[in-house]
Structure 1
């Protein structure tokens, strides 16, 4: 049977007391914090590392009650684990984050004759490495799981955009042609509204498939959030009380402005839709925060630096844990059939992470939800000269354009659109027939506009072949899906613009005017925006 070690009181053996003193002196050289507690929870001993960590002297702490000296530990795992070790007489080893110290600790609580010895080992760097590894593993798993879905989404979106281009284009031209008092106008507006909604859904699918490749630049976040709130107020039910606290004047981040506004509108819309009967309180806030150690959130992690914290809080129904775990998956929705695509929060998640940020999600069933978006803060915002955004599109004046598209419905719509704008247009459904006429000199070409995805020869191949005959002709390629490869090829060929096909009615005429003027870059470079 092992013998118990006597305490170092007045009756202790001198050699033993000397040994205890030497152990205490040695512990002062340890880098880990050590505290010895008596059974009544008074402090019997602390080493130098503990003094440094808590910011209090040994003389001020010895003999004091542990919980009186450190009341902030009450109700945390630091208390429950220590109580369990003292009561059961069994060692407890656990890890916990200390908000006050801003550090992660591995805590080892050992019961002893005196009471309880607790060792605090700083494992902040190790936790950071673990978070990085876990984050990379999760990203790899998600990438592998979603790769095939992304390919499918891109293909579906490309085909659907051809249909949308025709629907929106013909609806727009009908609205322009009909008298203002025609009963058909409202029907055409409803068709256009439905088309716009479909286009928004397709853009979400494309954003998912594309993985976020938009150009980013420095912007003040507060004006972007204010603009989003202004748009939100027009759609927010009167039964929802909206409060806003935008104190983040110094929140400058490298972002895509439209995507930031998409995040705000999406989160706010989800928030008020989660309120029972559409009644509740919605609060939006923006502020700058500083993280000194890595923090893990619901999805991803953030490194130690300054962040802009955009928070959206509601007092709606809240969500159970099993829903929270799946909330950012594509096509997952808790809304009734036909009322949600399940893409909104997935796109929000993709946008935030593409901007180097993270999301913290807290939700309690019956009490509401808090989304906190964290975006890294940068030093200064890029200057943006609104006067540089001068519209350069003028009506056509008989310029010779060639348009190529194998889809007859889209071909008819674009032909009517460009002829109405004043251009002399020649159309082709077969790219090879177009190329033959150009090579033979049977057609005059000042601007080539071509669809990208066509059988036998795609739009980029046609543009390259035409440039062999007409090396200076500008080109516009329309496509339902703008890939990185297509953008790179367009840059390599030069004087080539790529246009989302479903935006043909709104943008093609203006883009054609710019192309005929050699794509004047001053429209973009003076404003800080990227040229096409």
Structure 2
């Protein structure tokens, strides 16, 4: 090959390389060891706003660096020129000609090392939108985690509130209407109403559509005088109810409440034990009441097992934290009613009475 042919071939190679550079979708910049720009492609103009004529011959830091990115640049550049590679690239805050900011992912490589043309070739891509999307996704995930935690707190809070207010109600009915303790018990009622308001706020934050009642009326002065539970005694007429909740205090409370209404109650804190009791004699119970959220077995799973054995038995579910998807799942199992804590004490007797009466024609 003669010299002229070699020159022509080299020119052809350079033209192809220039074409590749011009057509490259990423900003491509070449600078020398003094950081003076040698090459600047159209994509770099589109990304940073400087024309090729404006960029060539200027210091790269003067064009695109920001105060926030300089500490990283000062650390990376000497290493790069000494031969250290950065295969994963570097994400830097970068400045446009109009002084706006973007996040760029820079891929850098040392070229022509040891020659007069030694320098750096850099490809830059705008990752601002991607990074923002990642931050938004992380924020959303954290928000969902906080919402789930808030829902769990509301569930526990409802259980505690139900135990406190329910036992206070029973105490009020055990005492004469003019007993001095009635004033203190009335204060428990007012505190319970305020606590229910806090639960509503927690549930609203968690995105739960089912909220506790804004007013929790567990007893009042008139109720204390008339003793509503006492007036309903024998409503249950000896009917047998199976009750399961993982909170021992609630099993104790609801058992006492239902017994005052005339029901015979088998109370359990373990869903597996409760299911075994039901399986041993399914016909022994006229109704079943179960909590929705339990550690050993969910209320939905428990109700499904019960209704497979006796499809006609009324099953009532209670919970202080119910999502829309939970309500749909509950109703698909054949559960007759879903009661929201902390008003279980007020509503459970009426609901059981109604459901047992409705079930009698089916049983007969």
What TM-score do you get using the length of structure 1 for normalisation? 0.36
C-alpha distance in 2 between matches for 1:413 and 1:506: 12
Which residue is 1:180 aligned to? 177
Question: Shift in Å at residue 173 of structure 1?
Answer: 1.2
Task: Report how many aligned residue pairs link the two structures.
Answer: 208
Q: Secondary structure at the match of 2:162?
A: helix
C-alpha distance in 1 between matches for 2:165 and 2:343: 8
- Relative to total residues, which structure has the larger helix share, 1 or 2? 2
Pair 1:442–1:506, CA change in 2 (3 A): closer
Question: Shift in Å at residue 406 of structure 1?
Answer: 2.0
Matched, 1:491 2:331: yes
- Of 298, 303, 313 in structure 2, the residue corresponding to residue 473 of structure 1 is 313
Q: Is the 8 A contact 2:234 2:263 kept in 1?
A: no
Which residue is 1:157 aligned to? 154
Which residue is 1:96 aligned to? none
Question: Shift in Å at residue 213 of structure 1?
Answer: 6.1
Per-residue displacement from partner, 1:331-375 (whole Å, max 9, x unpaired)? xxxxxxxxxxxxxxxxxxxxxxxxxxxxxxxxxxxxxxxxxxxxx
| Greater gyration radius | 2
Q: Is the 8 A contact 1:394 1:510 kept in 2?
A: no
C-alpha distance in 1 between matches for 2:210 and 2:191: 27
Which residue is 1:450 aligned to? 290
Pair 1:209–1:182, CA change in 2 (3 A): same
Question: Shift in Å at residue 449 of structure 1?
Answer: 0.3
C-alpha distance in 1 between matches for 2:168 and 2:285: 29
Pair 1:402–1:174, CA change in 2 (3 A): same
What is the root-mean-square deviation in Å for CA atoms of aligned residues? 3.0
Per-residue displacement from partner, 1:50-76 (whole Å, max 9, x unpaired)? xxxxxxxxxxxxxxxxxxxxxxxxxxx
Q: Structure 2: any 5+ residue segments left out of the alignment?
A: 1-135, 215-232
Q: Secondary structure at the match of 2:289?
A: strand
C-alpha distance in 2 between matches for 1:165 and 1:211: 19
- Relative to total residues, which structure has the larger strand share, 1 or 2? 1
- Of 193, 200, 203 in structure 2, the residue corresponding to residue 203 of structure 1 is 200
C-alpha distance in 2 between matches for 1:153 and 1:425: 32
Question: Shift in Å at residue 207 of structure 1?
Answer: 2.6
Q: Is the 8 A contact 2:300 2:333 kept in 1?
A: no
Question: Shift in Å at residue 444 of structure 1?
Answer: 0.7
Q: Is the 8 A contact 1:404 1:427 kept in 2?
A: yes
Which residue is 1:234 aligned to? none
Q: Is the 8 A contact 1:464 1:493 kept in 2?
A: yes
C-alpha distance in 2 between matches for 1:517 and 1:402: 17
Q: Is the 8 A contact 2:307 2:334 kept in 1?
A: no
C-alpha distance in 1 between matches for 2:333 and 2:257: 27
Q: Is the 8 A contact 2:258 2:349 kept in 1?
A: yes
Q: Is the 8 A contact 2:317 2:335 kept in 1?
A: no
Q: Is the 8 A contact 2:159 2:342 kept in 1?
A: yes
C-alpha distance in 1 between matches for 2:194 and 2:203: 14
C-alpha distance in 1 between matches for 2:328 and 2:282: 31
Which residue is 2:168 aligned to? 171
Which residue is 2:52 aligned to? none
Pair 1:435–1:145, CA change in 2 (3 A): closer
C-alpha distance in 2 between matches for 1:180 and 1:438: 40
C-alpha distance in 2 between matches for 1:199 and 1:404: 23
Q: Is the 8 A contact 1:437 1:443 kept in 2?
A: no
Question: Shift in Å at residue 143 of structure 1?
Answer: 5.6
- Of 338, 347, 354 in structure 2, the residue corresponding to residue 507 of structure 1 is 347
- Of 395, 400, 404 in structure 1, the residue corresponding to residue 235 of structure 2 is 395
Per-residue displacement from partner, 1:206-259 (whole Å, max 9, x unpaired)? 133135468xxxxxxxxxxxxxxxxxxxxxxxxxxxxxxxxxxxxxxxxxxx99
Question: Shift in Å at residue 424 of structure 1?
Answer: 1.6
Question: Shift in Å at residue 394 of structure 1?
Answer: 8.9
Which residue is 2:190 aligned to? 193
